[in-house]
Amino acid sequence: MIANRITLDAIRAMPIGEIAALPADALAALQEDADAALKSAKTLKDWLDGAIALKFGERARETRATLGKDTGTVRFSDGAVTIVADLPKKVEWDQGRLAALVETIRASGEDPTQYIEISFSVSERAYGVWPDAIRRAFEPARTLKTGKPTFRLLRD
């Protein structure tokens, strides 16, 4: 345990350079505190969102039905509050069937790209175990981009 432990509230007003200059143990403690606060806030938000869905979910379904909509955004009022209820559409396509349809369209002499977006991907895990000759053939088509770096500080 760190004596005179710096709190999350205290670092809000600190320049990032001062925070970076803190000892690793203090940074690890702050990271643990931030993770716990984030988890707590997410749990609270999920709980509140569940209550809101319970309160307004049926009314949103009824409003969508009245408008002849299965998905999408609807608006309705409750007193001085406008509720905007969104039920996003999530469409998934059977990749095997789409591939068969692409071949059918090609066989009929038409261009499947007029109807369907075609993309290719390669599993990075598979690419890593390919023989060198195959990997070299694919290298010109491969671009490596990186994401945001993360650091997890674990105290002993």
Is 102 in the same domain as 64?
no
| pLDDT tens-digit readout, 41-99 | 999 999 999 999 999 999 999 999 999 999 999 999 999 999 999 999 999 999 999 99
Is 77 in the same domain as 20?
yes
The answer to whether position 62 is within a domain reads yes
Q: pTM of this prediction? A: 0.70
Is 82 in the same domain as 60?
yes
Angstrom distance (rounded) from CA 33 to CA 153:
12
Is 68 in the same domain as 111?
no
The answer to whether position 133 is within a domain reads yes
Instruction: Give the domain range for residue 125.
Output: 95-141
The answer to whether position 150 is within a domain reads no
The answer to whether position 130 is within a domain reads yes
Residue 118, CB half-sphere, CA atoms under 13 Å: how many?
Answer: 14
Query: Quick check: helix, strand or coil at residue 3?
Result: coil
Is 18 in the same domain as 83?
yes
Q: Take residue 150 and report the two structure tokens written for it.
A: 């993360």
Angstrom distance (rounded) from CA 119 to CA 117:
7
| pLDDT tens-digit readout, 100-130 | 999 999 999 999 999 999 888 999 999 999 9
pLDDT of 3: 58
Number of domains the chain is built from: 2
**Cβ atoms of 109 and 101 closer than 8 Å:** no
Is 16 in the same domain as 45?
yes
Residue 1 pLDDT more than 70? no
